[in-house]
C-alpha cells in the first residue's frame, strides 16, 4: 500500500507498508520461433516461442545446449518450497526429453507464477506456461546467468554466446564492488561528481551545473538480516521524517514497498519539494546486513526524458556481487 502525507502531519499519521505483487498482463499468442538459433556457433533446434516480440525458452533445453561451456548452469527442483534452482557454473544433469521438437503450432500462453532461485536470491525472469511447460525470456536468462544474447537481423538469427557477457544495446552495465547494474546508454557516469564510492549519472549533453536531473548509486551496511527488512525500513523512514520535517521546502513524503525484477526487497521513498520544483526518489534495495541506495533527483525539466523510468531500469537490473 502506498502512502502520502504532508510535512506538518508527519508526527501524527502512522505509516504502514505492504509488499506488493507484480502486476500481471495478458500476453499475445505464443508463436513458434522461426529464427535460426546458434549456441556458440552451432545451430540448435529449440522448442521456443516468440511472445510479444521476445523469445522464450525452456530452462532445461537451454542448460542442456550450454552444458560444458563457459556459462554452463545446473537446474534443480526444490519440491518442498516449489522453487526452481539455478546453479551457475555447475554441469547440467539431463532429465530426459531435452530439445524435443514442438508441434509447430501457435499457443495461448499463461503467465507463469514460477519461483526461481539463483544462488541465494529469488529472481523474477519473465515466464509463461505453455502446454504445462514453463518458458523463460531468453534475455532475462542471459542477464541473470551472464551469457551473451544477440540478434542478427540480416540473417534472422538468435546468437547465444557462452564466451561473452550479457549486454543490452540500450544500456551500459557497471560492475562495482557491491554489485552490478545497468544504466540507459544515453546516460554516463560522471567522473567529476562521483567520489567516495557514490556514483553519479547524467544524461549525455547535460550540464552538471544546471541539470534537469541526475541519478546516484551507493552502498551501505545496516544491522538487520534480510528477513528483518521492515526494521531497516522503519529506521530509514524515521531518518527521512526528521530530515523532511526540518526542511521548509519539502511538502510531501510518499512510500512504497515491493520487490525488484530479481526478487530483492525494495523500499521506495519519494520527497516532493513544493517551492523548489524538485522530486527526490530513493530506492533502497535491502540485503542481508547491507543495502544499495539508488537516488533520482528530478528537476522537472519539460524537455528531459522520464528519469524515473531510467532509475527503475537500473533498480531492476541490479544484482548483488557474488
* DSSP secondary structure letters along 186-240: TEEE-TTT-BTTEEEEEETT--GGG-SEEEEEEEEE-S--GGGHHHHHHHHHHHH
What is the Cα–Cα distance from 19 to 304, expressed in whole angstroms? 31
Query: Residue 122's pLDDT is what?
Result: 78
Which percentage of the chain shows pLDDT scores above 90? Answer: 52
- Residue 180: the pLDDT is 86
20-45: average pLDDT: 77
Q: Is the pLDDT of residue 233 over 90?
A: yes
What is the rounded distance in angstroms from the CA atom of residue 123 to the CA atom of residue 261? 7
557474488: which residue's cell?
322
Instruction: Pick the range with the lowest mean pLDDT from 30-39, 163-172, 249-258.
Output: 163-172
pLDDT band at 289 (very low <50, low <70, confident <90, very high): very high
Residue 28 lies in a domain: no
Place 208 in a pLDDT band, splitting at 50, 70 and 90: low
Give the residue-averaged pLDDT of 64-88: 94
Identify the pLDDT of residue 246.
84
Query: How confident is the prediction for the chain on average, in pLDDT?
Result: 85
The 10s digit of each residue's pLDDT in 134-180 is 999 999 899 889 899 998 989 999 999 988 888 777 777 788 889 88
Which of 161, 191, 215 delimits the end of a domain? 161
Is the residue at 27 inside a domain?
A: no
68: left (phi over 0), alpha (psi -120 to 50) or beta: left
Name the residue range of residue 284's domain.
3-21+169-320
Residue 23 binned pLDDT confidence (cut-offs 50, 70, 90): very low
Q: Are residues 44 and 147 in the same domain?
A: yes
Query: Above 70 in pLDDT, residue 248?
Result: yes
Residues 31-37, mean pLDDT to the nearest whole number: 95
pLDDT above 70 as % of the chain = 87
| Among 161, 181, 196, residue at a domain's last position | 161
β-bridge mates for residue 296, sequence order: 215, 281
Same domain, 202 and 136: no
CA distance 194 to 275: 28
- Per the CB < 8 A criterion, the answer to whether 238 and 244 are in contact is no
Tell whether 180 and 76 lie within a shared domain. Answer: no
The structural domain count of the chain equals 2
d(CA 66, CA 215): 37
Give the pTM. Answer: 0.57
Mean predicted confidence (pLDDT) in 186-207: 88
User: Residue 8: its pLDDT value, please?
Assistant: 38
Provide the pLDDT confidence category of residue 321 given band limits of 50, 70 and 90: confident
The Cα–Cα gap between 263 and 315 comes to: 11
Instruction: Among 161, 196, 231, identify where a domain stops.
Output: 161
Amino acid at each position: 500500500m502506498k502512502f502520502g502525507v504532508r510535512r506538518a502531519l508527519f508526527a501524527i499519521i502512522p505509516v504502514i507498508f505492504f509488499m506488493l505483487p507484480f502486476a500481471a498482463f495478458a500476453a499475445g499468442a505464443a508463436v513458434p520461433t522461426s529464427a535460426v538459433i546458434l549456441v556458440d556457433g552451432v545451430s540448435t533446434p529449440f522448442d521456443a516461442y516468440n511472445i510479444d516480440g521476445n523469445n522464450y525458452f525452456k530452462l532445461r533445453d537451454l542448460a542442456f545446449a550450454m552444458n560444458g561451456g563457459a556459462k554452463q548452469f545446473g537446474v534443480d527442483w526444490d519440491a518442498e518450497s516449489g522453487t526452481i534452482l539455478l546453479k551457475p557454473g555447475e554441469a547440467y544433469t539431463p532429465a530426459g526429453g531435452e530439445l524435443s521438437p514442438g508441434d509447430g503450432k501457435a499457443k495461448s500462453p499463461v503467465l507463469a507464477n514460477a519461483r526461481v532461485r539463483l544462488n541465494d536470491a529469488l529472481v523474477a525472469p519473465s515466464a509463461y506456461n505453455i502446454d504445462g511447460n514453463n518458458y523463460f525470456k531468453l534475455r532475462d536468462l542471459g542477464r541473470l546467468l551472464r551469457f551473451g544474447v544477440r540478434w542478427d537481423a540480416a540473417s534472422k538469427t538468435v546468437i547465444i554466446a557462452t564466451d561473452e557477457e550479457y549486454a543490452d544495446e540500450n544500456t551500459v552495465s557497471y560492475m562495482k564492488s557491491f554489485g552490478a547494474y545497468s544504466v540507459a546508454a544515453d546516460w554516463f557516469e560522471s567522473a567529476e561528481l562521483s567520489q567516495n564510492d557514490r556514483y553519479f549519472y547524467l544524461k549525455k549533453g547535460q550540464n552538471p551545473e544546471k541539470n534537469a536531473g541526475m541519478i546516484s548509486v551507493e552502498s551501505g551496511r545496516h544491522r538487520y538480516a534480510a528477513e528483518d527488512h521492515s526494521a531497516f525500513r522503519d529506521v530509514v523512514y524515521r531518518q527521512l521524517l526528521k530530515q523532511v520535517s526540518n526542511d521548509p521546502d519539502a511538502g510531501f513524503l510518499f512510500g512504497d514497498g515491493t520487490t525488484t525484477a530479481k526478487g530483492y526487497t525494495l523500499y521506495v521513498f519519494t520527497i516532493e519539494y513544493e517551492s523548489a520544483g524538485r522530486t527526490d526518489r530513493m530506492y533502497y534495495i535491502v540485503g542481508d546486513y547491507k543495502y544499495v541506495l539508488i537516488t533520482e533527483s528530478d528537476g522537472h525539466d519539460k524537455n528531459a526524458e522520464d528519469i524515473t523510468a531510467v532509475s527503475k531500469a537500473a533498480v531492476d537490473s541490479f544484482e548483488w556481487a557474488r
